[in-house]
Amino acid sequence: MKTSELLDEILLIIREVKDDEKELQKILTFLHEEINFPDEEEFEVKLPEKYNAVVKEIASCIDAGMVCFLNTDTLEIDEFPRDLLSDSYMYKMNTGVSLDHLNLKYTQWEKYITIEPLETNESFKIMAKFTDQLENSKLRTQLVYALNNRKPFANFKRIIDNSEFRQDWFDFKDKQLQEYMKTMIELEIQDELK
C-alpha cells in the first residue's frame, strides 16, 4: 500500500472515533508508546545555497497546481498545469493533436527534476498544522471542526477567507510550501550532494 493510502486508512479510523474521547486517548497513547518520532534536527534541510533563489518561485507554481521542471544546471524553471500534463496522452488520443507544439523547455534539458503539486493529504497536513498553532481558540475550534467533517478544504477556505487571519494563513502556507520544496529538491539532488 502507498504511503498516501495508508494515511487515508489511518485518518478514516480516526474520523470514525473522533467523538469518543476514550478511543482517541487509546490511539494517542499507542502513538506515543510505539512510534519513534525523530528529533526536529533530523529534518534539517541541507539544500545548497544556489537553489534558494528558485524555491519561492517553485512553491508559488506548485500552489497554483503547476508541475515544475527545474534544470539543475542552470536553475531555469519550466511549468505546466498538472491536469493538462497528465491528460496530454488522452488529449492526443481524443483530438489527434499533440501537445508538442507547446514547445516545453524541459524536454530539451539534459538534467532536470520534476516537482509535482502537493497530494491532498500533504495539503491537509499544512492546514492542520496551521490550525494547531493558532492562539485564537474560537477560530481554532471552527477550523478543527471543518477539517474533521465533510468538505474540509472548502470549509477551511470559507472560514479563513472570512477571518482576520487570512493573511496569516497565506504566509504560513507559503513558508510551509517553501520548506516542502527545499526538501523535495534536496531528495532529488542527493547524488549531487555526495
Q: What is the mean pLDDT of residues 16-30?
A: 83
pLDDT of amino acid 6: 79
In the chain, what percentage of residues exceed pLDDT 70?
81
Q: Sheet harboring 77-81: ordered strands across? A: 77-81, 66-71, 112-115
Residue 191, pLDDT above cutoff 80: no
Residue 66, pLDDT above cutoff 50: yes
Q: What is the mean pLDDT of residues 160-186?
A: 94
Residue 41, pLDDT above cutoff 50: no
Residue 134, pLDDT above cutoff 80: yes
